[in-house]
Structure 1
């Protein structure tokens, strides 16, 4: 008796994807083309770093894919949700309920304690934070003895750990980080990147960061490089050395 061949499984839906994204600022001779028809998929359960020269479109790509900015043309998806079909209220709800954000400037509320900052998005959404999950996240980030402290009483690394905990505690589909180590010293930077790496490895989280730091990007599974608003190179299992080699290729100047 022969078994009926089974069709191959459907490929998983990417955590996010961009399809022919164009983002132009201004018009006419002064127009700036930040994205020039860029397409990319961000894989669920992976850590992706976005790199490229200044003005290459790194932050613009992340902002368009996260619903923080709208493209001039093209489409951005979170899972199978087409962001261009959502109104402002729906975009706000999607960012609140399905995305986590970590910014260079921490973006903590100065009058709130660390605990209140971590649980703020859930409280704004009228949701309770699972106590067991909260305790797990706080323990992973080493914040148990800092929960009653306000941001001014925390070091930069501690503030960014609070921001990471805030992003993760809501169990988002994706965490987006815009230069998350930009204001940190090397030790604090390594601390934060290790936390994001463990969020992928231990919690199955999807993490996407924009960074200029090869050391930070080397924590990722994949690095994508932009230039002139397009994806021009990609590295899997990167090292700081392999990242630097690609970046150096952007800086070569024809001196003839």
Structure 2
């Protein structure tokens, strides 16, 4: 059962709602002897208004799962939903519109246009779509990520951490139903990374956002409400209220079972 996903900040109401889910999703690359099974009948639900981290050794399928949940990659078998909308079977134009209107993305690379200042980069996706931002929401997002005094600066005038803050604000600005981050602190030093993770945590706590983050870092995963662990294309464990030490111990368990990162 899926549940309609409200806009951020409207609250869950009536129990835990589902922002996205996968049902027996398989993703394979290649054919015959070269076939690689990246996901092997994975089923998972992502709670609305919560911060979920996806972890696992290299090659475990964690980024593939995120890409399938976000509609960035198709599935070989199984079904995927964002809110009440099933992605599997949508035409490319419909999928593009759904991603644009309902999904936010943050990646290792900041992907900012160097000729635009911070506020222009933040509103660019909406400008391209011909949509006006909700100014009250936009101001709230900018305040949350601490960019109010940097809006006229171009990327070259911002630190790496500040550039990633712009990317976070851009992802939040359109009120996405769900926001995906693929190693969003991977190119940052520990201090800047902690700032970004703090902003993601605040976007959940203060803005009602839903965040799904792929990470290899136990410290980053500790910011989440829940960690889902993958190995060999399958979900093998999950952890609520994680700490860095507990996550690290679980990851070490993969090595003791003969899996390498």
TM-score (norm 1): 0.93
- Indicate how the Cα distance of structure 1 residues 149 and 43 shifts in structure 2: closer, same or farther if over 3 A, else same: same
Matches within 5 A, 1:26-105: 26-105=30-109
Matches within 5 A, 1:172-211: 172-211=176-215
**Deviation of the 1:240 alpha carbon:** 0.2
Offset at residue 138 of structure 1 (A) = 1.2
Alpha-carbon distance, 1:10 to partner: 7.4
Within 5 A, what are the aligned runs for 1:20-31? Answer: 20-31=24-35
Question: Is the 2:144–2:203 contact (alpha carbons within 8 Å) kept by the matching residues of 1?
Answer: no
Q: Tell me if structure 1 keeps the 8 A contact 2:113–2:121.
A: yes
Q: What CA distance in whole angstroms lies between the structure 2 residues aligned with 1:188 and 1:40?
A: 31
Conservation of the 8 A alpha-carbon contact between 1:21 and 1:75: yes
Aligned equivalent of 2:8: none
State the match for 1:217 in structure 2. Answer: 221
Could you list the runs of 5+ residues in structure 2 that have no partner in the other structure? 1-12
Matched, 1:228 2:232: yes
Residues 1:12 and 1:244: Cα distance change in structure 2 (over 3 Å): closer
Q: Deviations over 1:139-195 (max 9, x none)?
A: 221111211111122111001000000011111100100000000000001100010
Aligned 8 A contact 1:65 1:78 in 2: yes
Please report how far the alpha carbon of residue 136 of structure 1 lies from its aligned counterpart in structure 2 after TM superposition.
Answer: 1.7
Q: Is the 8 A contact 1:13 1:80 kept in 2?
A: no
Return the match for 2:123 from 119, 124, 144: 119
Structure 1 consecutive aligned stretches of length 4 or more whose deviation exceeds 6 Å? none
Aligned length: 246
The corresponding residue for 2:167 is: 163
Residue range with higher mean Cα deviation, 79-88 or 189-198:
79-88
Assess if the C-alpha contact under 8 Å between 2:144 and 2:202 holds in 1.
Answer: no
User: Which residue in 2 is equivalent to 1:249?
Assistant: 253
Give the gaps of 5 or more residues in structure 1.
Answer: 1-8
C-alpha distance in 2 between matches for 1:11 and 1:23: 31
CA distance in 1 between partners of 2:109 and 2:251 (Å): 25
Measured after TM superposition, the shift of residue 12 of structure 1 is 4.9
Equivalent of 1:131 in 132, 135, 159: 135
Aligned residues: CA RMSD: 1.3
Quote how far apart the aligned CAs of 1:85 are: 2.7
